[in-house]
């Protein structure tokens, strides 16, 4: 039995799912499964059982999970203490960001941080909002878009950051494209739509807005990523929805429409997974984010 096996077990117990635990730990799914088997062999009795797509702990597993969680938290605190002693001359910063902030805000923030602290090693992961929340235990700081869910790891702090507007995009030749600059959801609902994948913050906001307006949604295509939506719209698949900041450098091939009468807005939030003992590196990066509301 090793500390790594116990930390892995604590993470699987937290998520109830091997695949999500592997993402959070930055390990492959077979590596996580192998550690679980070794740990189970060590105890000589089942610690968990398969339950649909997830796992369910046995009585012995529940008890072991309590000890494993303590070890994992002690390990985190030891790393935070080490980083605090090192100061900001060295260290590692692990950042997660959902699609829009990862593409259109994070590069500017990292460049500013790197200019001030060039010897800090920075690693990043991106995905939709649910992907980043799932990966929080393995991150130092994260940025997400849209509502903050209830499934955050214990000890995670949430800092409201900045607002963003969601706009409709369509080809310049589209019937709604003439220079009005805005359209209602009722008007848009008469046309095919291109939506982001499930779990996307933009999609969640758009679906809620259509439901609130009582407008039907004619979904022509679901596609991953902002660039995928833009390319599908260029190809004539329908009207898409993206962050306004994602089309600030676009040419005239795409037109944007604000949603009337009330624009669609959402707030970005910054998550600090280990807020009780954050590293100085993560705390300084948070200060940088909050000091510059418009880094682009």
Sequence-ordered list of residues with C-beta below 8 angstroms from that of 103, at least 6 positions apart, any chain: 126, 226, 246
Contact 11, 38 (CB under 8 A): no
253 and 175 both lie in a single domain: yes
- Whether 296 is in a domain gets the answer no
Q: Which of 84-88, 132-136, 176-180, 211-215 has the highest mean pLDDT?
A: 211-215
Contact 100, 246 (CB under 8 A): yes
Q: Which residue has the tokens 């600059």?
A: 181
Read off the pLDDT band of 225 (50, 70, 90). confident
For residue 177, the model assigns a pLDDT of: 77
Using CB atoms within 10 Å of the CB of residue 12, give its burial: 0 to 12 exposed, 13 to 18 middle, 19+ buried. buried
For residue 167, the model assigns a pLDDT of: 94
User: How large is the average pLDDT for residues 248-269?
Assistant: 86
Look at 14-18, 54-58, 164-168, 251-255 and tell me which has the smallest mean pLDDT: 251-255
For residue 191, the model assigns a pLDDT of: 95
User: How large is the average pLDDT for residues 181-185?
Assistant: 91
Look at 36-45, 88-97, 154-163 and tell me which has the smallest mean pLDDT: 88-97
54 and 191 both lie in a single domain: no
Per-residue pLDDT tens digits for 24-83 = 888 898 999 899 999 888 888 889 888 878 888 999 989 999 999 999 888 887 877 676
Per-residue pLDDT tens digits for 101-156 = 998 899 999 999 999 888 888 999 998 888 888 888 889 999 998 777 667 888 88
Q: Which domain holds residue 244?
A: 165-263
DSSP 93-148: EEEEEEHHHHHHTHHHHHHHHHHH-TTSEEEEEEE-HHHHHHHGGG-SEEEEES--
Cα 138 → chain centroid: 13
Contact 244, 167 (CB under 8 A): yes
Rounded CA gap, 148 and 131, in Å?
Answer: 13
156 and 194 both lie in a single domain: no
- Does residue 88 surpass a pLDDT of 70? no
10 and 26 both lie in a single domain: yes
- Whether 202 is in a domain gets the answer yes
69 and 119 both lie in a single domain: no
253 and 172 both lie in a single domain: yes
For residue 211, the model assigns a pLDDT of: 95
Burial 58-76 (b: 16+ CB within 10 A, else e): eeebeebbeebbeebbeeb
Domain boundary among 85, 106, 128: 85
59 and 188 both lie in a single domain: no
DSSP 152-209: PPTT-EEEEEEEEEEEEEEETTSTT-STT-EEEHHHHTTS-EEEPPTT-HHHHHHHHH
Per the model's pLDDT, the better-predicted residue between 206 and 152 turns out to be 206
- Whether 243 is in a domain gets the answer yes
111 and 232 both lie in a single domain: no
Average pLDDT, whole number, for the chain?
A: 87
Domain boundary among 25, 54, 85: 85
Q: Which residue has the tokens 């909002």?
A: 129
pTM above 0.75, yes or no: no
For residue 153, the model assigns a pLDDT of: 82
Contact 206, 180 (CB under 8 A): no
148 and 183 both lie in a single domain: no
Element (H, E) at 56: strand 54-57
For residue 290, the model assigns a pLDDT of: 92
DSSP 223-265: -SSHHHHHHHHHTTS-EEEEEGGGGTT--TTEEEEEEESS-EE
- Whether 102 is in a domain gets the answer yes
State the total domains in the chain: 3
Looking up residue 277, the CATH number of its domain turns out to be: 3.40.190.10
- Whether 100 is in a domain gets the answer yes
285 and 152 both lie in a single domain: yes
Contact 168, 256 (CB under 8 A): yes
254 and 175 both lie in a single domain: yes
User: How large is the average pLDDT for residues 228-249?
Assistant: 90
- Whether 114 is in a domain gets the answer yes
- Whether 115 is in a domain gets the answer yes
For residue 147, the model assigns a pLDDT of: 72
Domain boundary among 85, 100, 125: 85
Burial 98-125 (b: 16+ CB within 10 A, else e): bbbbbbbbbeebbebbeeebeebebeeb
For residue 51, the model assigns a pLDDT of: 82
Element (H, E) at 268: strand 264-272
Instruction: Return the SS3 of 75.
Output: helix
Q: List beta partners, residue 184.
A: 260
User: How large is the average pLDDT for residues 226-246?
Assistant: 92
Read off the pLDDT band of 277 (50, 70, 90). confident
Looking up residue 44, the CATH number of its domain turns out to be: 1.10.10.10
- Whether 97 is in a domain gets the answer yes
62 and 196 both lie in a single domain: no
């Amino acid at each position: 039995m090793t500390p790594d096996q116990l930390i892995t077990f604590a993470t699987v117990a937290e998520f109830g799912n091997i695949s999500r635990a592997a993402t959070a730990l930055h390990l492959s799914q077979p590596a996580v499964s192998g550690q679980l088997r070794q740990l189970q062999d060590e105890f000589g009795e089942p610690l968990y059982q398969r339950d649909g797509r997830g796992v369910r702990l046995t009585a012995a597993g529940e008890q072991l999970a309590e000890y494993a969680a303590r070890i994992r938290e002690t390990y985190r605190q030891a790393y935070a203490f080490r980083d605090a002693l090192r100061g900001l001359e060295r260290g590692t910063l692990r950042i997660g960001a959902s699609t829009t902030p990862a593409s259109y805000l994070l590069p500017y923030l990292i460049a500013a941080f790197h200019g001030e602290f060039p010897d800090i090693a920075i690693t990043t992961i991106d995905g939709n909002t649910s992907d980043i929340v799932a990966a929080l235990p393995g991150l130092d700081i994260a940025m997400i878009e849209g509502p903050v869910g209830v499934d955050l790891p214990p000890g995670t702090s949430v800092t409201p950051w900045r607002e963003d507007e969601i706009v409709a995009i369509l080809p310049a030749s589209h019937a709604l494209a003439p220079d009005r600059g805005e359209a209602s959801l009722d008007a848009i609902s008469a046309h095919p739509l291109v939506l982001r994948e499930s779990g996307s913050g933009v999609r969640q906001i758009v679906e809620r807005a259509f439901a609130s307006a009582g407008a039907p949604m004619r979904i022509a295509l679901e596609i991953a990523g902002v660039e995928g939506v833009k390319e599908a719209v260029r190809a004539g698949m329908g009207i898409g929805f993206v962050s306004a900041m994602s089309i600030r450098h676009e040419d005239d091939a795409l037109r944007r429409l604000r949603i009337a009468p009330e624009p669609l807005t959402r707030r970005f939030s910054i998550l600090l997974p280990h807020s009780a003992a954050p590293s100085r590196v993560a705390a300084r990066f948070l200060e940088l984010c909050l000091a510059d509301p418009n880094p682009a």
